[in-house]
């Protein structure tokens, strides 16, 4: 056997594997090659992944007259005009009148240019009222607005419609360029192109411009449960945003309708999607929601959810403006959505959607270059067979090693098991070291240091993870003494054991039903290909030739995995600035960075042992980590907030709170500012603002129902968003709130009492209701949803009914029936909190002061609020 001759040590000790001690058989290269090797891969990420991640097409301009194409320039101008209206809160004049008129004018313009021989265009303005349970509260809405346009081909008789949705309202603090004006402008341009191009489509397309998403997805609920066209809508394309100015991502499909991903594949010009995003989003790990869920849940239709997500720092702030959006971004989204809408509007599946409910799919794009999708079933088979084939090939390789080195198979397997243990240690270290960094930084009050300087992540988490990945194998390799097995085989076995580890993980996670395991399979399959090549070519026996094949095949999974993880780091970093103070947000970023490092470097990191002085690589990594940690903790580079681009978010309300006792007397009437800090550092970066005299609201939460404050967001109650109360002089809310008890009647059964109330309040009002449970009082009936009554939220939350009025300020009459076993109704039975919010009033001194003294301060929720607590 000629190969065997080559491998055995020559008598003069000059064979290719002459030194089996593992000390001197490194590639003949200078000591810094090991470090250069790691650096090369890092640079590859910046040279390939980053440019492709941010790549945008050139926006088409009107003069070019590209017939039938999405014109980015026109959409951009439309967006600019919409944004100039300012913040568009449901119920405000901006939203209900100005924005609606703007849209109707745009639509009228499109209708004037309609190809009337080909298409019909119908417009309907819907004012809708209803209620739905969202999270732990009941959302009641009155007269919120939808502008609905139906475009149909004249020679088609299809009764199945395609729904396309975006919302034109915004939060109070933002003009809403990215969220969601961008998608509204995109939809208008798509409507214009489709209405003026001689291109037939089978199914009518319903364009829903909805006027209330931000208050709790009210308008989409009103449309899908009540509009005359809702029953015909068989699938939905939902368009929303958690950021702006990047590429649009398809992050939810179905559920259980894999054909939708097929149409995306066929049509999307700039594909961008991953199953991992869908699984993370649907697991509730992202504190956000879209109308897509309303359509799926209440309309029982499948669809696709497409969103902008980069630059989430400005989401819901006053900096969410048109000037931070490149025109190429709207061209990218427009190209994608126009062709997807055209494709779906011709999809035969729309005639009978239920027949195509055939399970979930796995889908992803490769660096934006192409799109891959297959069924979950195929995915399972792929994962199982790739893991199986890999294990078999590793067995063959082990057998071959034993044959060539004249050692028993048992001996080689022993080594393999030993290396497997080392790799398990490496895996654990590479995951825990970044977590330790996250833990220590946070325990010194230094969370979010990477918030404005994302490149710090390299030294903070990626280098520690690499240390974990390389240290055990380096120590092992360096300490190899006279071993019968050639030392190069030890390195091969190290990679084999990594493949075994990943294969078993892939098998386990697949069996658990997680589709995103395709990422592991991605990593394994390219190792397996190089393994086949090395076995066929006997590269395994020629020094480090085999490593060349491993490295070249790892380029693809390396680029892909780092790309996928980068998507999540871009998406999650801004969210960490508003995810509350209860837990350390760095943990998630550390886990992401560690997973990315482990999966992209798993087959590469051990290869530093090919070069001389691999311990030098580990030392370099330690040094880079150390310097970065110093910069992050002790210099301005690591300070978390930057004006305009990376602002801190603080919400505040001007509150007057009045406590009415059982006998109607007032026990408390005070005014103050209520701050809710949204980040882990809370008020500490809030420098320049005098908070003397303020108290934490946490102490109030123990004493009063819902903390005795107008906490209309339940996240504030659990102290996830820490609150502070700063007393100030009495304020007079612009719209006073009045609660009247109209009647109190004991019913015939003597165990139930009925209260009737009349409430006069501003357009946004919360009712908190809590019966005295100690006396076994229960609410047996009321004016509101019976489903919600029977499913009360868990303590410390009380019943919470959030009421939004789209057109005018309400007078609400409602009834409550309370039951009590002993029938004694002459004592306190329940607490009723009324929290009412008016739109911001201008010129408040303190907000001006904040803006000048605290430039990092982004979100000013300028609600003048009134809170009344009553006992009946
Ligand atoms: Zn939105």
Span from the CA of 178 to the centroid of ligand 1 (angstroms): 8
Higher pLDDT, 353 or 484: 353
The 10s digit of each residue's pLDDT in 789-841 is: 998 888 778 899 998 887 777 788 999 999 998 888 889 999 999 998 877 55
Span from the CA of 315 to the centroid of ligand 1 (angstroms): 9
- pLDDT at residue 709 in the model: 85
**Average pLDDT score over residue span 216-240:** 96
Higher pLDDT, 135 or 432: 432
**Average pLDDT score over residue span 64-85:** 93
Span from the CA of 302 to the centroid of ligand 1 (angstroms): 20
Which long-range contacts link 228-234 to residues 24+ away (Cβ below 8 Å)? 228/124, 229/124, 229/148, 229/150, 229/161, 230/299, 232/159, 232/160, 232/161, 232/204, 232/206, 233/161, 233/162, 233/163, 233/206, 233/299, 233/301, 234/160, 234/161, 234/162, 234/203, 234/301, 234/350, 234/353
- pLDDT at residue 15 in the model: 35
Span from the CA of 176 to the centroid of ligand 1 (angstroms): 8
Distance separating alpha carbons of residues 490 and 486, to the nearest angstrom: 7
Span from the CA of 167 to the centroid of ligand 1 (angstroms): 7
- Residues whose CB falls within 8 Å of the CB of residue 275, separated by 6 or more in sequence, listed in order: 361, 362, 363, 364, 515, 516, 518
The 10s digit of each residue's pLDDT in 552-580 is: 999 999 999 999 999 999 999 999 988 88
Cα angle value 11/17/19 (rounded, 5°): 70
Q: How confident is the model at residue 687 (pLDDT cuts 50, 70, 90)?
A: low
Span from the CA of 216 to the centroid of ligand 1 (angstroms): 10
Query: CA quadruple 822, 826, 827, 833: dihedral positive or negative?
Result: positive
- pLDDT at residue 718 in the model: 65
**% pLDDT > 90, the chain:** 63
Span from the CA of 346 to the centroid of ligand 1 (angstroms): 28
Return the closest-CA partner of residue 379 out of 357, 392, 358, 360: 360
Span from the CA of 408 to the centroid of ligand 1 (angstroms): 65
Task: Annotate 457-501 with three-state secondary structure.
Answer: HHHHHHHHHHHHHHHHHHHHHHCCCCCCCCHHHHHHHHHHHHHHH
- pLDDT at residue 2 in the model: 36
- pLDDT at residue 579 in the model: 84
pTM reported for the whole predicted model: 0.91
Span from the CA of 683 to the centroid of ligand 1 (angstroms): 27
**Average pLDDT score over residue span 326-338:** 97
Distance separating alpha carbons of residues 759 and 809, to the nearest angstrom: 11
Q: How confident is the model at residue 856 (pLDDT cuts 50, 70, 90)?
A: low
Bridge partners, residue 800, by sequence:
768
Span from the CA of 836 to the centroid of ligand 1 (angstroms): 23
Span from the CA of 495 to the centroid of ligand 1 (angstroms): 46
Span from the CA of 833 to the centroid of ligand 1 (angstroms): 29
């Amino acid at each position: 056997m000629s190969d065997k001759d080559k491998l055995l040590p020559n008598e003069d000790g000059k064979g290719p594997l002459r030194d089996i001690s593992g000390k001197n058989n490194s590639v003949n290269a200078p000591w810094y090659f090991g470090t250069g090797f790691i650096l090369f891969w890092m640079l590859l990420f910046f040279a390939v992944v980053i440019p492709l991640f941010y790549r945008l097409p050139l926006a088409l301009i009107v003069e070019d007259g590209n017939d039938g194409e999405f014109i980015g320039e026109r959409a951009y101008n439309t967006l600019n005009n919409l944004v100039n209206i300012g913040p568009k809160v449901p119920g405000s004049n901006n939203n209900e009148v100005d924005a609606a008129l703007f849209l109707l004018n745009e639509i009228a313009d499109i209708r004037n240019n309609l190809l009337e021989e080909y298409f019909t265009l119908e417009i309907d303005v819907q004012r809708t009222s209803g209620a739905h349970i969202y999270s732990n509260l009941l959302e009641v809405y009155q007269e919120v607005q939808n502008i609905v346009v139906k475009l149909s081909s004249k020679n088609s008789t299809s009764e199945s419609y395609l729904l396309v949705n975006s919302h034109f309202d915004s939060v109070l603090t933002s003009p809403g360029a990215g969220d969601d004006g961008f998608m509204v402008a995109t939809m208008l341009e798509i409507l214009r192109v489709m209405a003026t191009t001689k291109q037939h489509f089978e199914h009518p397309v319903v364009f829903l411009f909805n006027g209330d998403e931000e208050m709790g997805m009210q308008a989409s609920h009103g449309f899908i449960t009540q509009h005359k066209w809702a029953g015909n809508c068989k699938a939905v394309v939902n368009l929303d945003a958690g950021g702006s100015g990047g590429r649009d991502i398809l992050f939810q499909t179905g559920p259980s309708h894999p054909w939708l991903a097929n149409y995306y594949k066929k049509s999307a010009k700039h594909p961008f999607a991953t199953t991992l995003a869908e699984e993370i989003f649907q697991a509730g790990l992202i504190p956000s929601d879209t109308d897509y869920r309303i359509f799926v849940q209440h309309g029982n239709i499948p669809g696709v959810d497409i969103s902008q997500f980069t630059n989430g720092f400005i989401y819901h702030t006053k900096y969410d403006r048109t000037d931070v959006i490149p025109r190429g971004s709207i061209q990218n989204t427009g190209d994608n959505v126009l062709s997807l809408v055209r494709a779906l509007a011709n999809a035969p599946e729309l005639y009978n959607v239920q027949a195509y409910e055939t399970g979930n799919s796995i889908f992803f794009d490769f660096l934006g270059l192409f799109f891959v999708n297959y069924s979950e079933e195929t995915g399972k088979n792929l994962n199982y067979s790739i893991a199986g084939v890999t294990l078999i090939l590793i067995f063959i390789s082990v057998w071959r090693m034993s044959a060539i080195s004249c050692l028993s198979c048992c001996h080689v397997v022993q080594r393999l098991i030993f290396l497997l243990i080392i790799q398990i240690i490496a895996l654990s270290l590479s995951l825990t070291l970044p977590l330790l960094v996250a833990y220590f930084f946070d325990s010194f009050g230094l969370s979010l240091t990477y918030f404005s300087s994302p490149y710090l992540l390299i030294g903070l988490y990626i280098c520690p993870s690499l240390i974990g990945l390389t240290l055990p194998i380096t120590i092992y390799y360096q300490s190899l003494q006279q071993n019968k097995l050639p030392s190069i085989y030890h390195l091969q076995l190290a990679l084999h054991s990594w493949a075994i580890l990943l294969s078993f993980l892939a098998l386990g996670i697949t069996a658990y039903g997680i589709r995103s395991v395709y990422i592991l399979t991605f990593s394994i399959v390219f190792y397996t290909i190089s393994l086949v090549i090395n076995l066929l070519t006997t590269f395994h026996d020629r020094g480090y030739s085999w490593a060349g094949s491993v490295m070249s095949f790892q380029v693809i999974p390396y680029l892909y995995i780092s790309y996928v993880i980068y998507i999540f780091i871009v998406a999650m970093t801004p969210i960490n600035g508003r995810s509350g103070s209860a837990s350390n947000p760095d943990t998630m970023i550390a886990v992401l960075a560690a997973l990315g490092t482990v999966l992209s470097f798993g087959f590469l990191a051990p290869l530093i042992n090919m070069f001389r002085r691999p311990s030098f690589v580990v030392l370099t990594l330690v040094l880079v980590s150390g310097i970065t940690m110093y910069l992050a903790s002790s210099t301005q580079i690591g300070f978390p907030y930057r004006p305009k681009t990376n602002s801190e978010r603080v919400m505040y309300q001007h509150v007057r709170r009045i406590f009415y006792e059982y006998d109607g007397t007032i026990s408390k009437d005070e005014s103050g500012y209520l701050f809710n800090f949204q980040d882990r550092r809370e008020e500490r970066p809030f420098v320049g603002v005098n908070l003397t005299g303020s108290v934490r609201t946490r102490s109030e939460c123990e004493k009063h129902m819902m903390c005795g404050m107008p906490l209309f967001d339940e996240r504030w109650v659990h102290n996830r968003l820490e609150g502070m109360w700063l007393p100030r002089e009495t304020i007079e809310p612009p719209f006073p709130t009045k609660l009247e008890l109209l009647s109190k009647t004991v019913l015939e059964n003597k165990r139930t009492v009925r209260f009737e109330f009349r409430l006069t309040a501003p357009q946004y009002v919360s009712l908190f209701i809590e019966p005295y449970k100690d006396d076994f009082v229960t609410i047996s009936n009321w004016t509101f949803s019976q489903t919600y009554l029977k499913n009360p939220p868990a303590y410390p939350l009380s019943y919470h009914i959030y009421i939004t009025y789209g057109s005018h300020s309400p007078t609400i009459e409602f009834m409550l029936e309370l039951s009590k076993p002993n029938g004694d109704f002459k004592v306190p039975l329940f607490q009723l909190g009324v929290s009412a919010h008016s739109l911001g009033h201008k010129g408040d001194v303190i907000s001006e002061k904040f803006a000048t003294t605290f430039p990092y301060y982004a979100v000013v929720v300028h609600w003048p609020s009134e809170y009344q607590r009553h006992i009946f």
